[in-house]
């Protein structure tokens, strides 16, 4: 099993309330790996759509002259949290982890903490 597969499976099994997780290349919008999801959460569609979100935020920061790095982007829905974490680890440039959480079961602070730990161990 690759390091990516192991990291995605670990995320799915250890982050409380996870509905699905994907590793996404935001230059192409393609999911490089997915775990979870289903009929109500197509992770490939989410990967492509969230690529647009990352690109738009990066453009906005550039226009504002902000010399900052995006750590993560949170989208809060009625029943879900969608967390986009841009990878900073070795080999992670141009990639992000996308995590969909059930809002009733998830602890957002803990999910962000666990995702940072998983990212630190991820080798792409």
Between the two ends of the chain, the Cα-to-Cα distance in Å is 13
Average pLDDT over every residue of 102-116: 95
- Alpha helices (H) in the chain, listed in sequence order: 3-14, 43-64, 108-121
Pick the CATH number of 3-121 from 3.30.450.30, 3.60.15.10, 3.30.9.10, 3.30.360.10: 3.30.450.30
Residue 103: its pLDDT value, please?
96
Q: Which pTM was predicted? A: 0.91
Which of 26, 37, 22 is closest to 97 using CA atoms? 22
Average pLDDT over every residue of 45-68: 94
Which of 106, 57, 120, 110 is closest to 84 using CA atoms? 57
Average pLDDT over every residue of 87-116: 89
């Amino acid at each position: 099993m690759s390091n990516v597969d192991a990291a995605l499976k670990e995320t799915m099994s250890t982050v409380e309330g996870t509905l699905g997780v994907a590793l996404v290349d935001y230059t192409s919008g393609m999911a490089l790996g997915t775990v979870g999801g289903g009929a109500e959460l197509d992770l490939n569609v989410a990967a492509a759509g969230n690529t647009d979100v990352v690109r738009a935020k990066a453009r906005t920061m550039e226009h504002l002259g902000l010399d900052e790095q995006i750590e993560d982007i949170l989208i809060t829905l009625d029943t879900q949290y969608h967390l986009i974490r841009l990878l900073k680890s070795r080999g992670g440039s141009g990639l992000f982890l996308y995590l969909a959480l059930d809002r009733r079961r998830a602890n957002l602070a803990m999910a962000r903490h666990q995702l940072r730990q998983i990212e630190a161990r991820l080798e792409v």
